[in-house]
Amino acid sequence: MISKPVSHNERLVSLDIIRGFALFGIIFVNMPLFQSPQLVADLYMISQPLVETDKWIRVFLDVFIENKFFSIFSFLFGLGFYIFMNRAQKKGKRFYVLYVRRLTILALFGFMHLVFLWYGDILLNYALAGFLLLLFYNRQSKTILRLLVLFTVAFIFLLSLNFFSSPEELTIEIQQLQAEGAGKMEEAIDYYQNKSYLEWVSYRFINEVIPILMNLPFSMLTALYMFLLGLYVGKRHIISEFHSHKHLVKRVWWGSLLCSIPISISIVVLHLDVFNFGLANELFLQVFVTVSGLSLSLFYISSLLFLLQKEKWRKILHPLSYIGRMALTNYILQTIIGVGIFTGFGLFGEVHLGLGIIIGLIVFPIQILFSYLWLKYFKYGPLEWIWRSATYGEFQSLKL
């Protein structure tokens, strides 16, 4: 029996809107990374100088944007996994085989994206974590919930270990890292601005790709956490049967809001240097930004679910569904545009967060328009079509 993918008419429009909303945030998360060797700065704990206006933009990004939208994207991946597997199983298809093939193609997309375009790829990470997610498809929702609770406790415990080290010890470790990274920022800027494409790729493979691959076990686990949350929501039919779970979503909304407020205040306090932790300040800041990625992403998701129950808000937010239906294509396009602008025009290394925000506000509406026009004539985005065709082993009908 030849497997056929589900029709796009069966897709939940609300999920496409939330996915489009996630891409809206992701472009602003990634813009500062397109502008400068942020990976080098992170690896060696080097703070990049910012003008006064950009400092406040950085505060805004850390409080409301950073880590939140990738968490939403990861959540949707887990939920999409359940929807794909469940529908394929009901239709009597070899759903495990199909999904393994789907993940393999995604891993190839991710590897090419990572090596030939940009170090900030999430696709390879998602694909590898997706193989682990297969182990949990047949588990009961209660089992997944217990695992999520255990995961949360372990996650917070590991992050909190940073606070048990004395600021003096952390300062010494950070100083050692910074000494190792001396000259690395200038080297990166030189390769991005002045070298040929092959020299640039070669430099990136050693200094960016290898460190990213070495960090995959940790980044896979953080992605898997949100995957499991999405799988749990899918198994409980919380979104597809929203009115039956309205009170649960309301509790999540309040709980995530109340958790996010003190965490967000802590981020602002650290940015303003209210307490002097020296060089350890940056490390503590990263911890709070990471934790806020979970709490505030749940607040955003639950808020959108409530808004989407109202006809007025469904109409207002509907344009996001176009970009959400072509999420893979638009994610890669954001990289091509971002890297192209800052590397191609010699702006790399000159951090102007305000410029990145302006570019994002221009690019995203263009992506919505492009997606709308494309979907007037085609069923899927170009990369989505390749992905589907490879998954099902035959060319899929593309034109409407």
Q: Is 117 left (phi over 0), alpha (psi -120 to 50) or beta?
A: alpha
What average pLDDT does range 183-203 have in this prediction?
94
Distance CA 118, CA 150 (A): 34
- Give the model confidence (pLDDT) of 9-37 as tens digits: 444 789 999 999 999 999 999 999 999 99
C-beta atoms surrounding 375 within 10 Å: 18
- Residue type (1 letter), 98: L
244 vs 95: CA distance, rounded Å: 28
pLDDT score for 182: 79
CB 71 within 8 A of CB 297: yes
3-state helix, strand, coil in the chain (%, to 5): 80, 0, 20
Exposed / middle / buried, residue 260 (Cβ in 10 Å: 0-12, 13-18, 19+): buried
Q: Which amino acid is at 206?
A: I
pTM: 0.92
Task: Return all residues near 151 (Cβ < 8 A) that are at least 6 apart.
Answer: 225, 228
The confidence score (pLDDT) of residue 166 equals 67
Residues whose CB falls within 8 Å of the CB of residue 25, separated by 6 or more in sequence, listed in order: 65, 68, 69, 72
CA–CA dist 132, 134 (Å, integer): 5
The residue among 234, 236, 252 whose CA lies nearest residue 244 is 236
d(CA 315, CA 324): 15
> What tens digit of pLDDT does each residue of 260-312 get?
999 999 999 999 888 777 666 777 888 899 999 999 999 999 999 999 989 99
Question: Which among 15, 12, 14, 79 is positioned nearest to 309, based on CA atoms?
Answer: 14
* 48-67: pLDDT as tens digits: 888 888 999 999 999 999 99
Write down the domain spans for the chain: 8-32+53-166+196-339+361-392
The pLDDT of 346-372, averaged and rounded, is 93
Residue type, 396: Q
| Cβ atoms of residues 33 and 83 within 8 Å | no
For the segment 68-96, the average pLDDT, to the nearest whole number, is: 91
Residues 267 and 63: their CA atoms lie apart, in Å, by: 7
What value does the mean pLDDT of the chain take? 90
Q: Which two tokens stand for residue 191?
A: 């390769």
- Interval 93-116 mean pLDDT: 94
